[in-house]
Every structure is written in structure tokens, then in C-alpha cells.
Amino acid sequence: MELRTIEDLQRQTAASKAKKDASSLDQNDFMKLMLQQLKSQDPFKPTDNTEFISQMAQLTSVSGISEMNTNLAGLTQSLYSAQLLDASSLIGKDVLVETDVAALPSSGNVQGQVNLATSTTALDIDILAPTGEVIGKVPLGPQRAGTVAFEWNGVGLNGERMPPGTYQIRANYLNGNTLEAVSTEMRSEVLSVKVPASGGTPQVQVQGLGSVSMSQIIEIS
């Protein structure tokens, strides 16, 4: 009777299954191979116990990896659903996002804040036209280090309210005798939630700011 090893049986199985990749063998494949090996072995020279235990360990490992992959897929889906639910609950609320763009509504003010690393004798918020021209200004004067909130009422340097839309925002402060820029954080309303076609984290659509990821949101109000 011809004796065949587990490796021979694996090669035969791969050929009969159109060159099936050995790395894709599942629990059933391993069980069939082991049973076939037991049937084909020489009763006077059975498979060594150590080798048999090693093969059983391979079977257990394959089963464990398959179960782990299933559990991870389920966990990923649960996390994605939770993220989508969290994102949808933001619709209609204001969020604070680090940006240099402000969305001026048809009525009402624009709100934002800056974080100063040091005290200053003068802090100014400039509102810019697309050309870079300063068309509005919010002088905040001396400020201590820390978070400084500000509002722009939409009125330009000409004394008239500017039309609704998006405007560039620039913050500058005096650090000694040097004028330095500081990043701005603006508040705006969440309009909708969008799921990327390629998958991934849901994106919230913020008025005037476009698509924003959940990780970019600093504060919700």
C-alpha cells in the first residue's frame, strides 16, 4: 500500500481544486487531510505522536483565526454603526472647528475663538475678501493667555452688513513688538451627514465649511 504524507495530500488537493492557494485552506480542508492521512498510514508505523499533535495545533490555529476574523468584522460594523448614529445626532447643532473660513448667515453673527499662548496688548480679527483685502475687523484689545471668544456682526468697514456667504478670517496679536498670527476656531451649523462612497468614517456637512470629519470637531453646542 502506498504511503503518503500530509504534504503529498496537500499538493494533490491543490491540483484537484484548480491550484487552490494552500493559505486559503479552512478547518474542513485540514480535517479531511488528517482523516485521509490516518487511513493511508502504515498500521505498523503510525504517525508520530509529536507530529500528530503539531497537525492538531495547526487545525486549532486555523479555526481560531477564522473565528477571530469573523468577530473583528462584526466589531468593525458595530463601531461604524455607532459612528454613523453619533454623526447623525449632530444635525442642527453648532460645532467648533479649526478653520480660517467663516460662514456669515443672512441674519445673526459669526462666532469663533482663538487660543493665545501668551498675553497680548492687542488682538485683532480681520475679515478678508477673496482678493485678500480687509473688509471687516473685530478689535479685541488687550487679552490674557488662553481662550478668547469673539463675534463678528457681519458689518464691514463701510458700516454696512456684508452679504451672506463665506469669508476668510485672520487673527493677529502683538507679542512684544512683533505681530504674530494665531489660528482661529469657528462655530457653524451641521447640515447633514455623508457616508463616503469608499467607506470609512462618516463626514458631517458644516455650513460654509463643507465636509468635516468627526475627529476635526473640537466642541459641540
Pair 164, 104: CB distance under 8 Å: yes
The residue extents of the domains of the chain are 6-87, 94-188
Closest CA to 164 of 89, 214, 106: 106
Q: pLDDT confidence of 22, banded at 50, 70, 90?
A: very low
Q: Does domain 94-188 have CATH number 2.60.40.4070?
A: yes
DSSP secondary structure letter of residue 129: -
Query: Quick one: pLDDT at residue 19?
Result: 47
d(CA 2, CA 73): 44
pLDDT tens-digit map of 65-122: 666 666 665 555 555 555 666 677 888 899 999 999 999 998 889 999 999 999 999 9
DSSP secondary structure letter of residue 23: G
pTM for this entry:
0.61
Strand 165-175 with 178-182, pairing: antiparallel
Long-range contacts of 29-32 (CB under 8 A, 24+ apart): 30/55, 30/58, 30/59, 30/62, 31/59
| Percent of the chain clearing pLDDT 70 (strictly above) | 59
The per-type count for the chain, helices as H runs and strands as E runs, is 3, 12
